[in-house]
Structure 1
Amino acid sequence: MVLKRSYQTLLLFTSVLLFVMSFLIPLNQASAEVINRERYQIDWAYSPQYGKDVRTELLKNASGQIAYCLVYGLKSPNGEDLPEAGKADDVSYRVLMNGYPQKTPESLGVSNWQEAHYATQLALWNALGQISVDELQFKNAAVEKAAKNIIHAANQSQDTQDVWMSVIPTDKQEAQLNGEYFETTTYNVQTNAKKGTFHVEMTNAPQGTRIVTEQGEVKETFQLGEKFRIQVPKSSKSSELSLKIVSNLTNIHAIVYKGTSTIQDATVLLERSTEQVSTDLQVFWKANGALKVMKVDESKKPLPGAVFEIANSNQQGMGTITADKNGIAEMGNLELGTYTVKEVKAPIGYVLDATPKPFEVKTGEVAVVEMKNVQIKGNIEIKKVSDTGKILPGVEFTVFTPEGKAVTKVTTNQEGIAKVHSLPFGKYYFQETKGLEGYLLNQTKYPFEVKEHNQTLTFEVKNDQVKGNVQLVKVDEDGKTKLEGAVCILADEKGKKISEHKTDKNGLIKIDNIPFGKYQFIEKTSPAGYVLVKDPIPFSITENGKTIELVAKNTKIKGSIEITKVDVADGNNKLPGAEFTIYNEQGQEVVKGKTNEQGIAKFEKLPAGKYTYKETFAPEGYLINEETFSFEIKTDGEIIKHVVADQKKEVPPTPETPQPEQPEQPQPEQLKPQPEKPQTPQVIEKPVPTPEKPQHIVKQPQPMKEQPKKVESHLPTTGGKAENPYWKWIGVTFVVLGSILAVYAVRKRKNQKV
């Protein structure tokens, strides 16, 4: 009885509370609902508290929606028209949302709707504190488990019957130009409503402003879950608008129907709609245009670094912009109107173009202005001259970059001028790459810089002429003796005299700094005692500083002397066997020789100079001529002829005929005539003095040596008479007879001794 009385008190308090809330919580409409019941067999749980099985019935409203009892122990409605009494609390709401029929029997783990319904009713009474599920004695484990699962899910849930709505984003948005409209970002309406619609209300929106879906479809009413954007026509001036979201949201509520003192209250999950209005949201846009300047050269190559000044139609400066590495300079947020852009700083290496260029700014558009610059180009002029100022045509120059890359080549004209036109701005150097014959290649690098447009830089470049040296050494035939005193003319290749020079004591002529070209030495005066060289000695100067070494040989002047030995009494009587010795100017013996059978002694190839000779051995029967004779060899090949006469000796008595007693000492050999082979003059190897080395003479090479002719073997006739050939034969006969007699006498004597 005490428990029953407590239950009645709680029920009374709940009823009063629901009655008061019905006045405080406004509903869209106040209505009544007919609740009917259906019974089914239930014996699945026993309540020790109440001492009986816990039973319930299936309640439905007129629409067939399932209702649940809110007060345990009272009768279930059965056809009564119960008034709507507001909403149940969120605890009951969460139980119903996690029970049957929101969840299927299968999802609740039971086999049929009856078990699902029974488990949901037990969970609801448990939430209201009218029955403790934990104290019940279950006869159906599946029902027990389902009831406890519903209770657990409800306790974990944060769901509420209150409907809320929010709009994202909430901050002020800038509409960006997109095509023909300024367009906002996407707006999203968020809510816990199960379904609903909304529309957008705007304030200060320009004409033509529209609301579109994400796909760009224009709409006025949107379903929950749809996103939208605001689009403002780009022709609109810069401004802003406000908007708000008005929604009609539908959610499930646990609606309570009020019973009587004997009929319990019931609750049904029903959809109810409410209107929600968001706070005002702000949108702004800037109806400006922009400028894009494209800086290029004549070939459309982008040029960085140019600076531009922007001015409006009132010549008011709007600022400056600089071209980037791509040659682009930009300025945004320009109001509609006409402007000018002017270059105030040109790109490096280009001519400034200060002409203002007009352009028009339109809403949302970029005015593009292309501005060209002409590259700074300059010229160079190179004048090529020799070190003496002579104009040099045909010299090649090459212009290089500082890195050594060839840019162009140019050659000097007949005036010695080389011109290079239209060299682009920058640093360069030029260098001679092909010189002129006879001149040194000038390897100097001449740097220059093109900085001003159309400026011509002038240069004068000099070339040093190739100059060399020549050294001429005069030697004799053996190449050892240096010849002093030779006079040589230095002439050009055509024989034109340039200068005259004489060999020194070393036989040397040395001339320095002779310009490039072909030359020749012409011997004007030979060294003393030598033959003049008639053939020119050519040479060429082709390398700078090089010394040409020439050796020129002179042949000694050589002559001959022929000495004819005659009888002083008879000049026609030539005397063989006379010996003559030649002496040089210093009295040194040079050579000696004898007259041949014609009475002639020849001395050939005597070097030029003064000589003496004298007879050093007289022919047999003649007195030696003690006189010293002089002669001089002056001309090459000269032959000097002298005649020297000898006087006969007095004739001694005729010798007795040898006695036969002395045949052992016959001298037949002495009576024989002299051999036919003439004596060869012997050259004494003492040097003939020369002006350089008077004490030395070089012996002539063997192939040049000539043998003197044979000297006559017969004895000269004395007394100035010609020899009689009959007397020869008579004498020979006597000698032979004498010899025979002597031999006979000797043999006879030997025979007598025997």
Structure 2
Amino acid sequence: MIKKVKTLALVLGVLLGTLTGIIFQKTPKVVFADSGTLQKRESGVTPYAEFRHKDASRNTWYEGGHILFINGEVVICLDPTTYAYEVGYAGKEFSDVEELATSSGRRYKIDTDLQLTLALVSYYGYQQNPNDLNYHFTTWIGYELLGWDIQTVSNGATLEQYQVFKADVMAKVNGYKDNPSWHNGTYTVKIGEHITLTDTYNVVQNLIIPSEINGFVTSLNGNQLTLTPTKEATTGKIKFIQPFIQGVHGLSIIYRSEGSQTVSKLRISDPQYASVNINVIKNGNIKIVKTDSETGQPLSDVEFGVFEHDSDTPLKTGVTDGNGVLEFTDLDSKTFDIKELRTKETYRLNDKVYSVSVPAGETVTVNATNVVKKMRISVSKHLDTALDGSGTRAAGSGITFDIVSLNTHQVVSSMLTDANGYAISEELRQDDRYQLVEHTPEGYQSTEPITVEPTGEDGKIYHYIVENNAKKSYVQIVKVDEDTGETIKASGVSFQLFKDGQLVSQQVTYPSMQTIDTFTTDENGQVTLPQQLTYGTYTLKEVKAPTGYVLSDKPLTIDITGEDTLVTVRFKNAAQKGIIALSKTGQVLTSWQTDANGVHTPVYQDQLIGGATFQLTNVNTGKSFTVTTQAGQVLRTPELDLGEYDVVEVSAPKGYMTDNTVYRVSLTPQAQSVRLDVKSLSVYN
């Protein structure tokens, strides 16, 4: 950096200042000394400026050719009228009032306020953004603070550019505070609350704010510091300080060398700091946790009051939240009574008084429970029709009922009816809905589950009468031919029905009220029992067969499950059959007889002869078939349907004449126990 004067007088003044090295100090005490050689580095920019002191008649000019250093640290020029040489310098700590003399013979003072201002200018002007142009502009601001006014700016910089820079730096300098706006203030806060301190000086952002200090939890948001006391917090002073920044904080050193300009390392002496006085009020709290006495689940919307001990007037009231929690805060450190004022509709009110001593600054937890209101379910069980067919309404004993929670869909209880058909459950919770589900006894129709809606009345018994209808079905008996499967359309066929060996009887009302135990088919060969049969196994026996059929000796089993409205039973009968026993006889030469004269005479006898073929024709159907006799045997036809048959010989054995006579044979129904009608036919040739 080169300073030049435009007049000889100014040059002489510089020489005089160099020779005399006049240094005026108001305070001779030296706290810190330093020395070093001034060094220069060429500047990347070389702005030119001219200054004039208020007492001068000519300008001093500044050519920014170099950046100055001592011991590797940047130094700022304090004398615009003297040239800076790369020579040894002696340095010392600034006095409270530092007096300087320029080479022109002017004297000026730097007191502690100006010293701080110069240090802040150095900090905001150069140290926060250390580039070469900022170095020159910062030096110029220092000149102006020492009494020189800037006149012109050129060579890569403008006066307007400088003035903008200066205005920004001086705004920061003028706004600088050692402490926040709330420094040394006194505040009061309660445990469980917090205070927020707003710093209008914007200092607090520069301080070290630990997350917790002296029992306070801290939070910094911009210029707002929030302090939240924990139960360990105590009344007292809390202090904060800015971290010490090397090169920013410390001692400001002024360097002199005879015949060379005066320079300095400018520092802010102490970091910013703050203290605040906090008065902590340690009131206590009572936390109520409300749960179900059985399940441990939290209970919401239960109202409590906090009372002075032995008082009936609540100080505060509140209701538990969704987690079953209610907290009464900011209570004096003494004994209070906690009383339950209102509970949920399905619970019994807890009338216990909880006496609670509240320590200062602490929270006492009260665990309170409620017993849910209870209820029971009872049933009277009836079976409306006994399965024995008696029609008697019987008590349903030994029948299980399950009680199902509609909240959980799980069985929560079961009960078994006694000999009178009565059962009652154990105690159940009123805060649920239930279904009463029967284990249906065998042979009876299931009942629909009964939904039980509790009304909230404690101890109530919900009674239900449950009746079962026996499973029943109508029975239709259809008479069918065993061979063809066709319905035998014959009336008068009779049946009897047995259950467990007992004859079953039923009532009919038409044409008059009467009890019958024999059931007879109509002209369609069918009969439907007049009344339904109840669940069980029955035996059907035929007592009269249709004409032309054999009475069945095979009882038929009928299972009534109640699943079908009508059960159709097809009762089979074997049709009676007929056989024609055909005898074909004729004379057969059996031997020769010789008389006294020696004459041989044949001997014939009537015998069954074979080889004769007969045609048999069913008169009703016209169907025919043939059979052929065997010698010495009576021919038996296959079993034939009952009816009339025409029998005629169609072929005689050799040596015999054919008998063309048509013989009609009738095969007729016999007694029910007789299976075959056998008719004999003899034909002689």
Q: State the TM-score, normalizing by the size of structure 1.
A: 0.47
Structure of higher RCO (CA pairs closer than 8 Å, 6+ residues apart): 2
Match of 2:650?
Answer: none
Deviations 1:148-177 (A, max 9, x none): x9xx989965768x9987652587622344
User: Offset of 1:294 from its aligned partner?
Assistant: 1.2
Residue 293 (str. 1) matches residue 312 (str. 2): no
Which of the residues 321, 332, 335 maps onto 1:335? Answer: 332
Match of 2:520?
Answer: 502
Residue 425 (str. 1) matches residue 430 (str. 2): yes
Q: Given that residues 473 and 482 in structure 1 are in contact (C-alpha distance below 8 angstroms), is that contact kept between their aligned partners in structure 2? A: no
Give the number of aligned pairs. 465
Which of the residues 294, 308, 316 maps onto 1:312? Answer: 308
Match of 1:47?
Answer: 7
Measured in 2, the distance between the counterparts of 1:536 and 1:284 equals 107
User: Offset of 1:269 from its aligned partner?
Assistant: 13
User: Offset of 1:61 from its aligned partner?
Assistant: 4.7
- Please identify which structure carries the higher strand content: 2
User: Offset of 1:467 from its aligned partner?
Assistant: 0.8
Pick closer, same or farther for the CA change 1:157–1:560 going to 2, 3 Å: closer
Pick closer, same or farther for the CA change 1:68–1:679 going to 2, 3 Å: same
Measured in 2, the distance between the counterparts of 1:405 and 1:396 equals 18
Measured in 2, the distance between the counterparts of 1:474 and 1:97 equals 126
Measured in 2, the distance between the counterparts of 1:302 and 1:155 equals 62
Q: Which one-letter code corresponds to 1:504 in the other structure?
A: D
Q: Given that residues 190 and 229 in structure 2 are in contact (C-alpha distance below 8 angstroms), is that contact kept between their aligned partners in structure 1? A: no
Q: Given that residues 478 and 568 in structure 2 are in contact (C-alpha distance below 8 angstroms), is that contact kept between their aligned partners in structure 1? A: no
- Please identify which structure carries the higher helix content: 1
Q: Given that residues 402 and 413 in structure 2 are in contact (C-alpha distance below 8 angstroms), is that contact kept between their aligned partners in structure 1? A: yes
SS of residue matched to 1:54 = helix
SS of residue matched to 1:683 = strand
Deviations 1:681-725 (A, max 9, x none): 73368x9799xxxxxxxxx99xx7867353455xxxxxxxxxxxx
Greater Rg by CA: 1
Q: Which one-letter code corresponds to 1:343 in the other structure?
A: E
Measured in 2, the distance between the counterparts of 1:46 and 1:311 equals 92
Measured in 2, the distance between the counterparts of 1:95 and 1:387 equals 113
Which of the residues 101, 105, 108 maps onto 1:69? Answer: 101
Q: Which one-letter code corresponds to 2:292 in the other structure?
A: D
User: Offset of 1:359 from its aligned partner?
Assistant: 1.3
Pick closer, same or farther for the CA change 1:679–1:292 going to 2, 3 Å: same
Pick closer, same or farther for the CA change 1:69–1:420 going to 2, 3 Å: same
Q: Which one-letter code corresponds to 1:359 in the other structure?
A: V
Which of the residues 474, 485, 490 maps onto 2:492? Answer: 485
Pick closer, same or farther for the CA change 1:427–1:387 going to 2, 3 Å: farther
Q: Given that residues 295 and 323 in structure 1 are in contact (C-alpha distance below 8 angstroms), is that contact kept between their aligned partners in structure 2? A: yes
Which of the residues 358, 362, 369 maps onto 2:359? Answer: 362
Measured in 1, the distance between the counterparts of 2:168 and 2:500 equals 129
SS of residue matched to 1:168 = coil
Match of 2:403?
Answer: 399
1:562-711, aligned counterparts within 5 Å? Answer: 675=656, 682-683=663-664, 708=680, 710-711=682-683
Measured in 1, the distance between the counterparts of 2:489 and 2:355 equals 96
Match of 1:325?
Answer: 322
Q: Which one-letter code corresponds to 1:308 in the other structure?
A: F
Which of the residues 440, 449, 456 maps onto 1:451? Answer: 456
Match of 1:522?
Answer: 541
Q: Which one-letter code corresponds to 2:566 in the other structure?
A: K
Match of 1:384?
Answer: 381
Unaligned runs of 5+ in 2: 31-94, 133-138, 156-161, 204-210, 216-224, 239-249, 253-263, 386-392, 506-516, 583-605, 608-633, 645-652
Deviations 1:396-441 (A, max 9, x none): 4443344782324636445334544233334434354642221122
Deviations 1:70-117 (A, max 9, x none): 89558x9xxxxxxxx998798899679989xxx99xx999xxxxxxxx
SS of residue matched to 1:364 = coil
User: Offset of 1:445 from its aligned partner?
Assistant: 4.5
Pick closer, same or farther for the CA change 1:128–1:468 going to 2, 3 Å: closer
Q: Which one-letter code corresponds to 2:296 in the other structure?
A: K
Pick closer, same or farther for the CA change 1:174–1:348 going to 2, 3 Å: farther
Match of 1:597?
Answer: none
- Percent identity between matched residues is 18
Residue 173 (str. 1) matches residue 178 (str. 2): no
User: Offset of 1:283 from its aligned partner?
Assistant: 5.9
User: Offset of 1:307 from its aligned partner?
Assistant: 0.9
Match of 2:594?
Answer: none
Measured in 1, the distance between the counterparts of 2:374 and 2:664 equals 90
Measured in 2, the distance between the counterparts of 1:94 and 1:531 equals 140
Pick closer, same or farther for the CA change 1:68–1:346 going to 2, 3 Å: same
User: Offset of 1:353 from its aligned partner?
Assistant: 0.8
Q: State the TM-score, normalizing by the size of structure 2.
A: 0.51
Unaligned runs of 5+ in 1: 1-41, 77-84, 110-118, 136-140, 142-148, 193-212, 218-226, 244-250, 254-267, 563-574, 577-599, 612-671, 691-699, 714-754
Instruction: Report the RMSD for the aligned CA atoms in angstroms.
Output: 6.4
SS of residue matched to 2:100 = strand
Q: Given that residues 476 and 566 in structure 2 are in contact (C-alpha distance below 8 angstroms), is that contact kept between their aligned partners in structure 1? A: no
Deviations 1:219-262 (A, max 9, x none): xxxxxxxx9x99999999xxx9999xxxxxxx999xxxxxxxxx
Measured in 2, the distance between the counterparts of 1:43 and 1:338 equals 83
1:212-251, aligned counterparts within 5 Å? Answer: 216=214
Measured in 2, the distance between the counterparts of 1:400 and 1:303 equals 23
